[in-house]
Amino acid sequence: MNKIGVIFDLDGVIVDTAKYHFLAWKELANHLGFEFTEAHNEQLKGVSRVRSLEILLDIGKVELSDEKKQEFLVSKNEHYLQYIHEMGPEEILPGASNLLDTLDDLGIQYVLGSASKNAPLILKQVNLFDRFVGIVDGNSVSKAKPDPEVFLIGAEKLKLKPEQCVVFEDAIAGIDAANAAHMISIGVGDKQTLSKADFNVEDLTEITSGFIKSLITKIETVK
Ligand code: BG6
Ligand code: MG
């Protein structure tokens, strides 16, 4: 019987797709006649595709019909997928593969909890798809992060209570979602940005087997 389970965000935790989202959104912004910077792109991390377009249009102070918005959502995704189709296992972020190995060794199962509708494809591109016991992605949820829905469905897939789950996230909305789900939240990236996380690491190379074991003890103690 598993004592804990792990839920991974994808973009920014397992792989860095933000750079490809940036290139595709930037092209759209330029097409619409305004600049879109890396700083602007930060606002789109962890945010759904539809919401990302709304934020981008706000930045450019551009108003569009629903029909045009739909058209640009499709063309942006087609452009983004050109980059995704070029991805391979070399794009897995530092420490991610080792952490999955550590969890396998400890008999701890893990699922994906991502806002991306392209998550299954991305995991296949980097040869990690088969390792997850479940995938919860942008197609499976009705409410986006910071709503906890994505992680609560993840807990169901792990057959665990939310309190037994540990979430790895790089976005503020994701940390908020994990905290709202009463899970242990681990912020991956800038400690100040992710100050609401229960634990913080710069990247997954910092997560040791000893740390995971300490989480098992912690979760056992609160039960
Ligand atoms: C999240 C990314 O994982 O997925 C966001 O952090 C992105 O930047 C969102 O907008 C939706 O992705 P997709 O692949 O469905 O367009
Ligand atoms: Mg992310």
128: left (phi over 0), alpha (psi -120 to 50) or beta: alpha
Which of 11, 137, 170, 176 is an active site residue? 11
Match 């640009």 to its residue by tokens: 72
Omega into 94 within 30° of 0, i.e. cis?
Answer: no
Separation CA 13–CA 197 (nearest Å): 14
Contact 70, 60 (CB under 8 A): no
For a substitution probing ligand 1, which of 8, 10, 17 has the most ligand atoms within 8 Å of its CB? Answer: 17
Dihedral of CA atoms 197, 202, 204, 205 in degrees, nearest 10, equals: -140
Separation CA 160–CA 93 (nearest Å): 27
Ion ligand 2 nearby residues (CB, 5 A): 9, 11-12, 46, 170-171
Annotation says 11 is catalytic: yes
Name the closest-CA residue to atom 14, ligand 1: 116
Name the closest-CA residue to atom 6, ligand 1: 46
pTM recorded for the entire structure: 0.95
Separation CA 26–CA 40 (nearest Å): 10
SS3 state at 208? coil
129 bridge partner residues: none
Predicted confidence pLDDT, tens digits, the chain (223 residues): 568 999 999 999 999 999 999 999 999 999 999 999 999 998 998 989 999 999 999 999 999 999 999 999 999 999 999 999 999 999 999 999 999 999 999 999 999 999 999 999 999 999 999 999 999 999 999 999 999 999 999 999 999 999 999 999 999 999 999 999 999 999 999 999 999 999 999 999 999 999 999 999 989 887 5
Structure tokens at 209: 């087997």
- By CB neighbour count within 10 A (0-12 exposed, 13-18 middle, 19+ buried), where does 142 fall? exposed
* pLDDT tens digit sequence for 112-145: 999 999 999 999 999 999 999 999 999 999 999 9
